[in-house]
Chain A
Amino acid sequence: MIEVWYNTLDLIVPFEWGHYLFMKNALLAILVITPVFALLGTMVVSNRMAFFTDVLGHSALAGIAIGIVCGIQDPTWPMIIMAIVLALLVNIFKGWTQASMDTVLGVFLAFMVALGITILSREGGFVKYTVYLIGDILAVTPMQIAWLSGISVLVLVYWYVAGNALILTSVNSSLARSRRIKTLLIEMSFTIFLAVVVMLSIRLVGILIINSLLVLPAAASRNFARSTRSYTLWAIIFSMVSGVTGLITSYYWGTASGATIVLFSVGCYMLSALLGRVTSKAMRT
């Protein structure tokens, strides 16, 4: 099936980068994950979970470390399980302590990162894990793309089925409950999807910047969107455009793709902030 994609690119892309297998794979991966990141991101921003998703991304370090301690070669599953455990722990902890949410998250961030680095740095071995910090999308395999496509389809279905429930829950959870929405189920399922998508993509984008991919497109879209539809649509557009342009630019600049993509996302954000100011001024007068 992936051959079809390779051949199509050969036909339609006349540039040098379009002939390399790693670029073809990377581009496909970008096209698959950026819309999903945008969708999840809209809800992350609306629910003010940006710090939480940052901690979630960083928990990958602890996940990898625990995987190695348990003798598991492929850290994907330990990372996913670690992220889900983290999400549950944060929720439980929130009920226990009087401390504010960002303090609780700060503590978890410190713990996850410190635990990961302590274990991984034994006998000076941390260098081989730096790939997880900045990511390497050019090394993506067709198998990984298949996994990402699978989870993307699941997120789309979830967003179709639970989209309205997610909105009501985010607006007011008591209101949602009074309309027989299982808000706990909605919140938990959303967090689990976040955890799985983030962990499956962390090898490609890197722990340090994965949160930007989640938050920036939605934040940019929010600068001028006036309805849920335009909010979602523009988040997807920003996400895909900065993903593709970032990847291609990184080829020519010889830079890390993830970070280059984020730079383009930041550019989108600044542009939209400017645009938002101009339009809101125009509307007021």
Chain B
Amino acid sequence: MPFRNNEDSKLDVGESCRHCCIKIEGLTVRMGKNIILEGLDLHVHCGDVLAIIGPNGAGKTTLLRAILGEVPYQGRMVSLIGGVERRRPRIGYVPQKLQFDEDSPISVLDLVVAAISHRPVWMGISRKLCLKAEEVLRVFSADHLIHRRVGELSGGEIQRVLLAIAMTDHPELLLLDEPSAGVDVKGLALFYQLVRDLKKQHDISVILVTHDLSGISPYVDRLVLLNRSIVVTGTPDEVLSDEKLLHAFGPSLWNVTSMPFLPSKKEGA
């Protein structure tokens, strides 16, 4: 972790440490004749949480997959570390959900050790690795889950485990895919809190993709409204008061009661 500066953790929200950032320039994704994403410019400073919102089919998932390198794209993606350009940032990825069924006999310990070690999990896990895994999980208040089966965990618990695993790789960019899916309100608040603490401590950039706006604005530095290309970008307050948001999400947005900024807007409308 070359640019970890704990003393500097009181940086104002939104201010960059100018040491590292992720730059995406002119990102375009085509599938067949369809243009899924067109000319995206994104600049994520380290220590910033960028939320990408947009209606279904806006290309949010495609954007994530492009950043992960799973779909071909045109344009440039670089990470600047201390002013030095690198081709691909190191990415910590927290998927929306796992692919396997609930009765899969894989424990949280198995999953963590499989990710952090080359020693095959099926041959048994040494005491040392077990302690290491516990340490990794403790940061995200998930160490008590270590001997549970992954299939038994709640949505919020799985997410904290996956976040813990993602952070073991010392990522420069953290990608969160729909963190609100299947997580209750309390769990989600805890999760966003952890993410906010993380970016302060580790100066990493965070991109999260969501269609659920409820309760995220206190934790997010910048919001991007995406619909094939960037429609609006700015601080949460700026974006959420923009009329284009209403067009993108439709009236259903106004039903979300847990948005503190909404009442005033509602009166105005």
Contact = CB atoms under 8 A, between A and B. Distances in A.
B111 A171 contact: yes
B169 interface: yes
Nearest to B119: A164
B241 to A, nearest CB: 34
B68 A170 contact: no
B95 A172 contact: yes
Interface in B238-252: none
Contacts of B106: 46, 167, 171, 227-228, 231
Contacts of B124: 229
Interface string B83-111: 00000000111010011110111110111
B1 interface: no
Interface in A160-184: 160-161, 163-164, 167-168, 170-175, 177-179
Interface residues of B, number: 39
Interface string A251-284: 0000000000000000000000000000000000
A19 B169 CA distance: 58
Contacts of A225: 105
B56 interface: no
Interface majority SS on A: helix, strand, loop or mixed?
A: helix
A171 B121 contact: no
B199 interface: no
B123 interface: yes
Contacts of A222: 103-105
Contact of B107 (A46, A221, A228): A228
A221 B106 CA distance: 12
B126 to A, nearest CB: 12
A221 B99 contact: no
Contacts of A231: 105-106, 122
Contacts of B68: 174, 177-178
Interface string A36-72: 0000001000101000000000000000000000000
Nearest to A48: B101
Interface residues of A, number: 29
A229 B123 contact: yes
A191 interface: no
Contacts of A128: none
A232 interface: yes
Contacts of B92: 178
A178 B92 CA distance: 7
A193 interface: no
B178 to A, nearest CB: 13
B122 A232 contact: yes
Nearest to B67: A178
Contacts of B162: 175
A159 interface: yes
Contacts of B104: 46, 222
A121 interface: no
A73 interface: no
Nearest to B124: A229
A230 interface: yes
Given A171-B106, A175-B162, A228-B110, A46 B100 contact: yes
Nearest to A39: B122
A239 B111 CA distance: 25
Contact of A164 (B100, B120, B175): B120
A191 B118 CA distance: 21
B142 to A, nearest CB: 16
B151 to A, nearest CB: 10
Interface in A193-232: 221-222, 225-232
B230 interface: no
B120 A174 contact: no
B99 A159 contact: no
A94 to B, nearest CB: 15
B138 to A, nearest CB: 20
Interface string B136-150: 000000000000011
A225 B150 CA distance: 13
A262 to B, nearest CB: 22
Contact of B98 (A172, A227, A228, A229): A172
Given A46-B100, A222-B103, A225-B105, A159 B120 contact: yes
B100 A227 contact: no
B149 A174 contact: no
Interface of B: 65, 68-70, 91-93, 95, 98-101, 103-107, 109-111, 113-115, 117-125, 149-150, 162, 165-166, 169, 175
Q: Which 9 A-B pairs give the minimum distances between C-beta atoms?
A: A163-B120, A178-B93, A225-B105, A164-B114, A232-B122, A231-B105, A228-B110, A227-B107, A167-B114
Interface of A: 42, 46, 48, 159-161, 163-164, 167-168, 170-175, 177-179, 221-222, 225-232
8 contacts: A168-B114, A171-B150, A173-B99, A174-B93, A174-B95, A179-B169, A227-B105, A227-B149
